[in-house]
């Protein structure tokens, strides 16, 4: 069980932190809510205590014998502040320690992540921009806010991301606390990253399709980590079972032909292309009208045939483009009797496609598709490299670490 300190700033988005507290608790974490004085104007103390199951304090003097700010700072595995208002971020950036939340943040050695929420004008104000830069320089992760409807009629960047997205980000930092350093350094800032993900659907007729079991979770994790590290991320999403992060641009596609068209437009302008999509190698010759049973074919076991045609090899096309200083990462979902043969298949595919890195996993017996965990190996031109067994967030961090090293050597 991890200990999560949930700080809540005094903004209208404080109501969303109620769901965040519940999500973190239901995930098995011990959650301690530390609201600011202003936050209690939006959501009262009884609500926080009922949701977390722990007493809630706002002031250092609420529990002097317990030295609450030091106790929480030492026990915390991660501190997340949602919403983080402009005023609260300014106080943290200045090293203030005038309430329980700011003193806890000042005293902790755990990763600290701030999820800002404020009006667009406040987020884009030079003072806030400077404060965010200071916070990141001090080792605090500041998520970029979402864009969308704000309080009143206004709309723009400054919206608090959905609680599910913040909870996933907390899980990422719990699984990969060392990832916070690259996020604070924004080591992919200025890089354009295009990521394809999900599973394509190839039409059989107007109402049926052939598809696969890819959920898009791996690609989403990469997109989330890349954006947190400062990259400008564009996702090309086939069918997925997950919601895309709020901080990325998304192009929706259905088929492998759609994928080829989208990547043909986006890949030439990217610094990094990550082809995590599960694209079909073959597609049916689709019928214009719904395929119906013939009279007498209703018996169980009756068969029919589909004619298949080969789809574009999108990864090979991307690798064949003449784009200097670009890194291309492919994914290979393989079935193999043992790890040695799995790596042989991966090395052969890497050479055949011409990409810089290939991430290979064994999908035999449903081991990976749709699962939270994964087991991948990053294969280089020189041979097998890093193996990651664990969460898809851990794999995403490892893949982007390899990408960053390649970019640094160009």
Specify the pLDDT at position 298: 61
Q: Which of 125, 212, 264, 361 is catalytic?
A: 212
**Parallel, antiparallel or unpaired: strands 192-197 and 272-275:** parallel
Binding-site residues for CTP, please? Answer: 281, 290, 312-315, 331, 349, 353
Question: How far apart (Å, rounded) are the C-alpha atoms in residues 42 and 24?
Answer: 21
Q: Are 81 and 145 in contact (CB under 8 A)?
A: no
Residue tagged 């924004």 (tokens): 186
CATH T-level topology, domain 3-185: Rossmann fold (3.40.50)
Torsion angle, alpha carbons of 329, 333, 339, 341, to 10? -90
Binding-site residues, please? Answer: 281, 290, 312-315, 331, 349, 353
Question: How far apart (Å, rounded) are the C-alpha atoms in residues 129 and 89?
Answer: 10
Question: Over its length of 410 residues, how does the chain's per-residue pLDDT go in tens digits?
Answer: 899 999 999 999 999 999 999 999 999 999 999 999 999 999 999 999 999 999 999 988 777 766 677 889 999 999 999 999 999 999 999 999 999 999 999 999 999 999 999 999 999 999 999 999 999 999 999 999 999 888 878 888 999 999 999 999 999 999 999 999 999 999 999 999 999 999 999 999 899 999 988 899 999 999 999 999 999 999 999 999 999 999 999 999 999 999 999 999 999 999 999 999 999 999 999 888 888 876 555 666 677 788 899 999 999 999 999 899 999 999 988 887 788 888 888 898 999 999 999 999 887 665 556 567 788 889 988 777 788 888 899 999 999 999 999 999 87
3-state helix, strand, coil in the chain (%, to 5): 40, 25, 35
- CATH number (3.60.70.12, 3.40.50.10300, 3.40.50.12780, 1.10.3720.10) of 192-409 reads 3.40.50.10300
Tokens of 78: 């991660």
Three-class SS state of 84: strand
The domain ranges of the chain are 3-185, 192-409
- Catalytic residue status for 361: no
Helix 100-107 and helix 86-93, axial crossing angle in degrees, nearest 10: 40
3-185 and 192-409: identical CATH topology: yes
Specify the pLDDT at position 66: 66
Question: How far apart (Å, rounded) are the C-alpha atoms in residues 45 and 58?
Answer: 9
Specify the pLDDT at position 42: 97
Specify the pLDDT at position 329: 97
């Amino acid at each position: 069980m991890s200990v999560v300190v949930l700080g809540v700033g005094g903004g209208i988005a404080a109501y969303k932190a109620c769901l965040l507290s519940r999500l973190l608790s239901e995930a098995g974490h011990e959650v301690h809510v530390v609201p600011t004085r202003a936050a209690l104007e939006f959501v009262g103390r009884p609500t926080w205590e009922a949701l977390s199951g722990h007493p809630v304090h706002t002031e250092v003097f609420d529990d002097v014998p317990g030295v609450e700010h030091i106790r929480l700072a030492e026990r915390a595995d991660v501190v997340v502040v949602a919403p983080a208002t402009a005023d609260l971020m300014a106080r943290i950036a200045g090293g203030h320690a005038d309430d329980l939340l700011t003193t806890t943040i000042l005293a902790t050695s755990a990763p600290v992540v701030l999820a800002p929420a404020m009006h667009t004008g406040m987020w884009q104000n030079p003072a806030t921009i400077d404060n965010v830069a200071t916070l990141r320089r001090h080792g605090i992760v500041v998520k970029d806010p979402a864009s969308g409807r704000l309080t009143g009629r206004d709309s723009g960047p400054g919206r608090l991301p959905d609680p599910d997205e913040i909870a996933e980000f907390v899980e990422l930092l719990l699984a990969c606390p060392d990832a916070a350093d690259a996020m604070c350094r924004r080591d992919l800032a200025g890089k354009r990253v295009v990521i394809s993900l999900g599973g394509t659907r190839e039409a059989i007729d107007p109402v049926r399709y052939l598809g696969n079991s890819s959920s898009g979770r791996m690609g989403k994790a990469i997109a989330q980590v890349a954006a947190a590290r400062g990259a400008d991320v564009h996702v090309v999403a086939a069918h997925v079972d997950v919601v895309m992060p709020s901080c990325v641009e998304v192009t929706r596609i259905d088929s492998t032909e759609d994928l080829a068209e989208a990547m043909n437009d986006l890949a030439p302008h990217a610094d990094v292309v990550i082809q995590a999509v599960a694209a079909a190698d073959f597609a049916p010759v689709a019928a214009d009208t719904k395929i119906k049973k013939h009279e007498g074919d209703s018996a169980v076991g009756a068969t029919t045939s589909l004619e298949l045609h080969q789809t574009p090899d999108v990864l090979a096309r991307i690798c064949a483009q003449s784009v200097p200083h670009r890194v291309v990462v492919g994914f290979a979902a393989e079935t193999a009797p043992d790890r040695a043969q799995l790596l042989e298949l991966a090395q052969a595919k890497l050479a055949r496609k011409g990409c810089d890195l290939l991430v290979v996993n064994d999908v035999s017996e449903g081991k990976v598709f749709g699962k939270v965990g994964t087991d991948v190996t990053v294969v280089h031109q020189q041979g097998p490299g890093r193996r990651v067994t664990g969460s898809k967030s851990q794999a995403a961090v490892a893949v982007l670490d390899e990408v960053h090293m390649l970019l640094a050597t160009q």
